[in-house]
Amino acid sequence: MSSYVGFTCSCCGGEHDTLPMHYNSAAPAYWSETVAAHPDSELTSDQCVIEGEHLFVKGLIEIPVIDGDVFSWAVWVSLSPQNFVRMSELWETSGREQEPPYFGWLATELFLYDHPTLNLKTNVHTRPVGERPFVELEPTDHPLAVEQRTGITKDRVQWFAEQFMHSQGDH
C-alpha cells in the first residue's frame, strides 16, 4: 500500500505534508448530549448504545484508489438487537470472521456527498480480532456505493482533504 506524501492544495495554494487516507466519525448521527446523559446510553470507540434500544457498531467503508491504495471512512452502522448481541459475544473470539455478514443501516452522514448517506443499506463483515469490521454498501447508484465498487482517483482523495481542511461547516 502506498502512502501519499504531500500535495499542493487547490483551495489555499499551500503545501500540505500528507494526504489523509482515512477519516473517522466519532459517534453515530443520532448521538447527542441529551442521549449521552441517559443512563442506558454508552459510546465507546467500537460500539454505541442509545437509550438501551438503538445499537451501533463502528466499521470501515473502504474505497479502492486507482493506483492500488485504499481510502476509508470509519462509520457507524445500526444493527438489530440479535445481530448486535451476536457480534458482541464474538468480539474477542478467534475465527469470528467466519460469521455471515450482519445487515445494518448506515448511521453516519458523510456531508461531502451530494446525496444523503444516512440509512443506506449495508452488510457488516466481521474481520479477525483487532480489526474493524468491513462495511459493504448495497450496490445502488448512490455515489458512495458507486465509489466503493469502482474506486476513486488520488485527486478525489485530495478533494476530500481540501474540503475537510477548508470547510466552514461541521463534518
In a domain, 41, yes or no: yes
Q: Which domain holds residue 125?
A: 21-151
Residues in the chain, overall count: 171
Residue that is written with C-alpha cell 482517483 in the block: 153
Residue 119 has pLDDT above 70, yes or no: yes
The predicted pLDDT at position 1 comes to 41
* Residue 91 belongs to some domain of the structure: yes
Name the grid cell of 111. 456531508
Judge whether 63 lies within some domain: yes
32, 44 Cβ separation under 8 angstroms:
no
Query: Based on the number of CB atoms within 10 Å of its own CB, is 22 exposed (0-12), middle (13-18) or buried (19 or more)?
Result: exposed
Residue type present at position 121:
K
Average pLDDT across the chain, whole number: 90
- 40, pLDDT greater than 60: yes
Please write the tens of the pLDDT for every residue from 161-170. 888 876 644 4
Structural domain count, the chain: 1
- Of residues 10 and 164, more confidence is placed in 164
CB 56 within 8 Å of CB 26: no
- Domain annotation covers residue 157: no
CA distance 114 to 132: 27
Position 33 in a domain:
yes
pLDDT surpasses 70 at 109: yes
Report if residue 171 sits inside a domain. no
Confidence tier at 120 by pLDDT (50, 70, 90): very high
What is the distance in angstroms between the CA of the first residue and the CA of the last residue of the chain? Answer: 27
- For 71, counting Cβ atoms within 10 Å of its Cβ (0-12 exposed, 13-18 middle, 19+ buried), the class is buried
- Would you place residue 98 in the very low, low, confident or very high pLDDT band (cuts 50, 70, 90)? very high
pLDDT at 15 over 90: no
Q: What's CA 114's distance to the chain center, in Å?
A: 17
Q: Is residue 164 part of a domain?
A: no
Q: What is the pLDDT of residues 45-84, one digit of tens each?
A: 999 999 999 999 999 999 999 977 999 999 999 999 999 9
**DSSP secondary-structure letter at 21?**
-
| Spatial separation of the C-alpha atoms in residues 117 and 138, rounded to whole Å | 12
Spatial CA neighbour of 64 closest among 97, 99, 21: 21
Query: What share of the chain has pLDDT > 70, as a percent?
Result: 88
Q: Is residue 137 part of a domain?
A: yes
The pTM (predicted TM-score) of the whole model is 0.90
